[in-house]
Amino acid sequence: MIRLERLRAGHAAALLAFETENRAYFARSVPDRGNAYFTGFAARHHELLTEQDAGLHHFHLVVDQEGALLGRVNLVDVDAGAAELGYRIGERAAGRGVATSAVAEVCRLASTAYRLRALRAVTTRDNAASMAVLARNGFTAVEDITLTGRPGVRYHRGLDTGR
C-alpha cells in the first residue's frame, strides 16, 4: 500500500537522498539531471515549493506504509484546467505496481482536489513500463514525438471533475 504526500520543506533531505541513491538507475531511462541539480538542491527545493504554493505545480512523494520514500509523482505546468504528469519510482520499488498505484492516486487528486479536467504525459517508446502504467490509468496515445533525441509518445487523459 502506498500513499502520496504533498511536497513540503521537511522532505528535502529524504528527497535528495532518494535522488542521489537512484541517479544511475534513472539515467538508464531518462536524461540525467546533472551535477548542478544535486549541488543546488536546497535552493531548487525551495523554488519548487514557492511554485507549488502559487498553484503552478503539484508535487508529491510516494511513500510506503512505514513512510519510506519510493518515488515521486508530479503534476506540472498547471494551466487552463490541465497539467503534465511526471513520475519516477526508485529502483527498489520498481516492478511492484507502485507507479500504477501512484499515478491512479494522483489522477484522483487531479480531479477532486486540484479540479483539473485533463492530464498530459510523455514517454519514450523504449520505456515499455511507463507506457503500460499510462495505459493502465486510462491515458491514450495521441501523438508520436521525439523526446531527448529518441522516439516517444505523447499521451492524454480527460478527468471527470464531477462538475
Sketch out the chain's domains with CATH numbers.
2-158 (3.40.630.30)
**Quick one: 151 exposed, middle or buried, by C-beta within 10 A (0-12, 13-18, 19+)?**
exposed
Instruction: Tell me which residue of 11, 161, 12, 19 sits closest to 90, measured CA to CA.
Output: 19
Task: Give the pLDDT confidence score for residue 65 in this predicted structure.
Answer: 93
Residue corresponding to grid cell 471527470: 160
User: DSSP code of 11?
Assistant: G
C-alpha dihedral, 104 to 77 to 27 to 141, nearest 10°: 60
Sequential pLDDT tens for the chain (163 residues): 899 999 999 999 999 999 999 999 998 888 778 899 999 999 999 999 999 999 999 999 999 999 999 999 999 999 999 999 999 999 999 999 999 999 999 999 999 999 999 999 999 999 999 999 999 999 999 999 998 888 999 999 999 865 4
Where b means 16+ CB within 10 Å and e means fewer, 98-119 reads: bbbbbbbbbbebbbeebebeeb
Kindly report the pTM of this predicted structure: 0.93
Task: Give the pLDDT confidence score for residue 161 in this predicted structure.
Answer: 63
Task: Give the pLDDT confidence score for residue 162 in this predicted structure.
Answer: 55
Task: Give the pLDDT confidence score for residue 29 in this predicted structure.
Answer: 80
